[in-house]
Structure 1
Amino acid sequence: MIRLTDRGHVYALFAIVVLATALGSLTQTVMNSMLGGVEADFGVDAAVGQWLTTAYMLVLGVTVPAVTWLAQRLPMRRLVFLALGIFVAGAVVSGAAPSFGVLLAGRVLQAVAAGITLPVLQSIAMTRFPPGQNATAMGIAGIAMGFAPNIGPLIGGALVDSLGWRSFYAILLGILATLVLATALTVPRGEAPTRDARLDARSLLLSTLGFGGLLLGFSEASTLGLSHPLVWAAVAVGAACLGLFVRRQRRVDDPLIDLRIFESRRFRASFAAQNLLFASFMGITLIVPLFVVGLQGGTALEAGIVFIPATIMALVCNPLAGFLADRVGVRPVTVVSAVLLAAGSVAMAFMDEATPLWAMTLMQTVRGLGVSSLIGPYASWGLSKLPRAIVMDGSAFFATARQACASLGTAAMVLLITTAGSLGAAPALGYQLAFGLSAALAVAVLAVTLAKVR
């Protein structure tokens, strides 16, 4: 064990979990641009190949709520080792996969690991940093949640065209091995917060069916349509089980998610704003490439260029926004950021076939600056008034609900495009409606910010 000060141990732990979470976010999106190579190698069609991304999203969403119980039973060092160990196993299985089914199993393991690290990261930022540094820490954490997934498709495309898709997992293993070694050397042993915490199996089942059903239904709605039985059944089962889950959490002694989190006014406002934010911006990462390639006849490279400035600037804006929120207060930071988000989003709703690439890139950059500057300050502000014992519960519920809302927003945007096309509308109209929905959600974020953040 390397001798560090107490603060040094916290910084080391935080850096390790930030990198692990960034790898999880990167792994989630990197497959988007490698699907063609995977499908060709295993002889599967696009509908089957898409399950590599759908399954990852589903497993990530249903894993996160269970982390609250794990955090009560395991010391932080062991919890980090568990996440890294599962991640390593997933990378090995995926990299050496002899068939599509084995690769899918590896993706499931990776999603479980990512589901563990995400709420742990936010909990560390809120409970192990001194007051006045929480928003800064959460801003740094935002790099893992914002920058990493955006750069994933670019990395995947570069690797699949040069070294093949398996090379990503070889690189991933090298980084993970370094993180395992760093954890062994710098993270001290400690006691678990509550060794007798009991896992309520019925809550876990209801959570899995609830969030899993909603995520499955929302993700399939964009391809199968709202009228498809699978979509309706999944959403109906998910909503019913989620209602039963919430009811049960209020009645059992050991809830999977302590719903006292909603007694905090800040948490409720932040919860609403973050869900609107993720519903607004995640779908754009899919709609913009469809717009550039499908409507304007551009190339995949040109579609990628639209995101590059905002993605690069997120490296600076995420921590800077957190730092400013700690220094001047969260309201001015979030108001300015929400105005940027709304302005860029509304401008994009008026794009058509003739919109030049530079103008689209400028609008997305303004929009992206708003997104990257909102995530950290809003998360830290929303969690800041929760009792320390239930910060992990708040973080876990944040992460799971955001995932469902991101899927819902994306499905709704794709559905608007396909519906407009089926009705014979002008080619640009469906995209304008999709961008308009994103703009409406962004304006709603601004409204919540102006009304609730003090």
Structure 2
Amino acid sequence: MNDEARSRKDVYLLFAIVVLSSALGNLSQTSVNAMLVDISGTFGTSVGLLQWLTTSYMLVLGITVPASAFLERRFNMRTQVLLAQGLFLAGCLADFVAPTFEVLLAGRVLQAVGAGMLLPLMQTIAIRRFPAGRQATAMGIAGIALGFAPNIGPTLGGAVSFQWGWQSFFVLLGVLTAALIVWTLFAVPRSDHFDRTARLDVASLAQSTLGFGGLLLGLSNASSFSLADPMVWGPVVFGAAFLVVFVQRQRRVPNPLVSMDIFKDSQFTRGFIGQSLLTTSFMGITLVVPLYVQGLCGGSALEAGMVLLPGTVAALVINPIGGVLTDRIGVRPVGLIFGTFLAVGAASMAFVDANTPLWLVMAMQGVRACGVSGLIGPLTSWSLGALQGPLVASGSSFCIVVRQACASFGTSVMVFAITAVGATAAGAAHPALPYQLAFGFSAAVAVALLAFIVAKVR
């Protein structure tokens, strides 16, 4: 085997390990939602406190991701992957043996730190290590971790918890992570591609933590409190203020945590906007569909899961297909095709009511899910592919954390429409109206994304 072939094999092995490790992180993020009742029975905690098992994961993920650009400069790939896997494994072990809720929460924090390190690393490898013409394919494969894993998470978590108890889920995660650590130790060679002199800008990290943390917390609270509640607008205003300070500092310091030079490239900026619209449109649907099926239609949790099943299958199959097509025919035709799927599927769901057959809702969701899965990889690879060198890590990190904020915003708007409008006279007179408004918001963003692709994606 010549040096080029050996190098390519090393990249593919590294990428496979990081994708699988990231998939476990995303699996952990959503699986706990299906285990909250069982966990409550173990510790006797309130529903409000239990929500921190999911909220803290999202917050810590958003806080950790911006630091990944520094970690890439300071450590080689092998060290970064092993460190992230080690933290994730430690979190799994803590959750398995957790004698108190506080220990369980600490384990979730460790898992989120590990996952936050891996997500931008996965995208950076796809863009910087894969040859031109295969980057979108790599991002399509990465989409399995970004789409399939979180979609299947609640189903898998609920099944494992029901069969063997919620602790067994963390045993499963721990065993799989340990196997990946062993694989990393033997399969990933050491590398000297790092800068020992790189220093962490602590002030930037603090500003990023307060900014993104506050924004994510406030948007997350919007689904539980009214918009006028200080628990919503307080953290949002606080976070937004620190984000302004953070961005200004990144433009001023010589070694920024996240370089704002990423926005000097118009292609990256357009891709960034497209990704933000996409995430705003689709993330809340996995929560709204079960509320619709069980709350309005009187269906079961199993029926709600069946309606979402096409999305899970689409994420596994369409993500790689979208990447391969992008490498072969370009991002614009792929964006137009799958953008249309998303817009049509989302718009059709805005007209559902209590009498809509669930098989039809499943079909609509299937069309919509195909659009989502076909856009994630192409938009990400097209956006990051415009950047060079270290800017890829900055672009990857910034995109991921902003997508987290967009996901929280979209979900909060949809849940707010259901709870707030449902409590009004109009909602009482027309029970389907709150759900139609929630789906309608998703559809409006999806149509805006299609229009944006038509106008800006070339």
Q: Please classify the TM superposition score into its range, dividing by the shorter chain length.
A: over 0.9
How far apart in 2 are the matches of 1:235 and 1:339?
33
Task: Quote how far apart the aligned CAs of 1:309 are.
Answer: 2.0
2:95–2:104 Cα contact (<8 Å) kept: yes
Deviations 1:278-326 (A, max 9, x none): 1110011100000000111110000000111221132111111100100
The one-letter amino acid of 2:167's match is R
The one-letter amino acid of 1:201's match is V
The one-letter amino acid of 1:118's match is L
Q: Which residue of 2 aligns with 1:153?
A: 154
Q: Which residue of 2 aligns with 1:433?
A: 437
The one-letter amino acid of 1:237's match is F
How far apart in 2 are the matches of 1:264 and 1:282?
27
Task: Quote how far apart the aligned CAs of 1:45 are.
Answer: 1.4
Q: 1:7 and 2:11 equivalent?
A: no
For 2:370, what is the secondary structure of its paired residue? helix
Q: Which residue of 2 aligns with 1:18?
A: 19
Q: Which residue of 1 aligns with 2:324?
A: 323
Deviations 1:224-274 (A, max 9, x none): 111111211100100000000000000001101001100111111111111
Q: Which residue of 1 aligns with 2:253?
A: 252
Q: Which residue of 2 aligns with 1:404?
A: 405
How far apart in 1 are the matches of 2:451 and 2:269?
14
How far apart in 2 are the matches of 1:389 and 1:293?
47
2:27–2:153 Cα contact (<8 Å) kept: yes
Q: Which residue of 2 aligns with 1:392?
A: 393
Task: Quote how far apart the aligned CAs of 1:193 are.
Answer: 2.6
Task: Quote how far apart the aligned CAs of 1:173 are.
Answer: 1.2
More divergent stretch after superposition (183-192 vs 109-118): 183-192
How far apart in 2 are the matches of 1:443 and 1:196?
47
More divergent stretch after superposition (102-111 vs 192-201): 192-201
2:215–2:240 Cα contact (<8 Å) kept: yes
Q: Which residue of 2 aligns with 1:303?
A: 304
Q: Which residue of 1 aligns with 2:59?
A: 58
Superposition CA RMSD, Å: 1.0
Q: 1:98 and 2:102 equivalent?
A: no
How far apart in 2 are the matches of 1:278 and 1:95?
32
1:71–1:192 Cα contact (<8 Å) kept: no
Q: 1:75 and 2:79 equivalent?
A: no
Q: Which residue of 1 aligns with 2:446?
A: 442
Runs of 4+ in structure 1 displaced over 6 angstroms? none
How far apart in 2 are the matches of 1:169 and 1:229?
35
How far apart in 2 are the matches of 1:22 and 1:127?
20
Task: Quote how far apart the aligned CAs of 1:53 are.
Answer: 0.3
Q: Which residue of 2 aligns with 1:142?
A: 143
Deviations 1:43-69 (A, max 9, x none): 011111111000000000010000111
What is the aligned-residue identity percentage? 56
- Normalising by structure 2, what TM-score? 0.98
Gaps of 5+ in 1: none
How far apart in 2 are the matches of 1:408 and 1:126?
28
Q: Which residue of 2 aligns with 1:175?
A: 176
The one-letter amino acid of 2:360's match is A
Q: Which residue of 2 aligns with 1:209?
A: 210
Q: Which residue of 2 aligns with 1:49?
A: 50
Deviations 1:140-187 (A, max 9, x none): 001100000000000011011110110011111111111011101110
Q: 1:263 and 2:264 equivalent?
A: yes
Q: Which residue of 2 aligns with 1:288?
A: 289
The one-letter amino acid of 2:47's match is A
How far apart in 1 are the matches of 2:407 and 2:269?
18
Task: Quote how far apart the aligned CAs of 1:132 are.
Answer: 0.3
Task: Quote how far apart the aligned CAs of 1:420 are.
Answer: 0.9
Q: Which residue of 2 aligns with 1:348?
A: 349
How far apart in 2 are the matches of 1:225 and 1:285?
22
How far apart in 2 are the matches of 1:433 and 1:190?
53
The one-letter amino acid of 1:43's match is G
How far apart in 2 are the matches of 1:266 and 1:23?
31
How far apart in 2 are the matches of 1:192 and 1:87?
24
1:249–1:256 Cα contact (<8 Å) kept: yes
Q: Which residue of 1 aligns with 2:241?
A: 240
Q: Report the number of matched residues.
A: 452
How far apart in 2 are the matches of 1:87 and 1:446?
37
Task: Quote how far apart the aligned CAs of 1:377 are.
Answer: 0.5
For 2:425, what is the secondary structure of its paired residue? coil
For 2:113, what is the secondary structure of its paired residue? helix
How far apart in 2 are the matches of 1:338 and 1:95?
42
Deviations 1:96-147 (A, max 9, x none): 1011110000000000000000000000000001000000000000110000
1:77–1:189 Cα contact (<8 Å) kept: yes
More divergent stretch after superposition (87-96 vs 309-318): 309-318
How far apart in 1 are the matches of 2:203 and 2:386?
29
The one-letter amino acid of 2:276's match is N
The one-letter amino acid of 1:182's match is W
2:151–2:311 Cα contact (<8 Å) kept: no
Task: Quote how far apart the aligned CAs of 1:427 are.
Answer: 1.1
How far apart in 1 are the matches of 2:396 and 2:108?
23
Q: Which residue of 2 aligns with 1:451?
A: 455
For 2:359, what is the secondary structure of its paired residue? helix
For 1:227, what is the secondary structure of its paired residue? coil
Q: Which residue of 1 aligns with 2:34?
A: 33
Q: 1:339 and 2:340 equivalent?
A: yes
Q: Which residue of 2 aligns with 1:121?
A: 122
Q: 1:375 and 2:376 equivalent?
A: yes
How far apart in 2 are the matches of 1:90 and 1:358?
40
For 2:353, what is the secondary structure of its paired residue? coil
How far apart in 1 are the matches of 2:226 and 2:73?
41
Deviations 1:360-386 (A, max 9, x none): 000000000000000000000001111
Task: Quote how far apart the aligned CAs of 1:192 are.
Answer: 3.8
1:73–1:192 Cα contact (<8 Å) kept: no
Task: Quote how far apart the aligned CAs of 1:199 are.
Answer: 1.0
Q: Which residue of 2 aligns with 1:186?
A: 187
Gaps of 5+ in 2: none
How far apart in 1 are the matches of 2:237 and 2:140?
36
How far apart in 2 are the matches of 1:327 and 1:192?
31
The one-letter amino acid of 1:348's match is M
For 1:223, what is the secondary structure of its paired residue? coil
For 2:390, what is the secondary structure of its paired residue? helix
How far apart in 1 are the matches of 2:194 and 2:74?
7
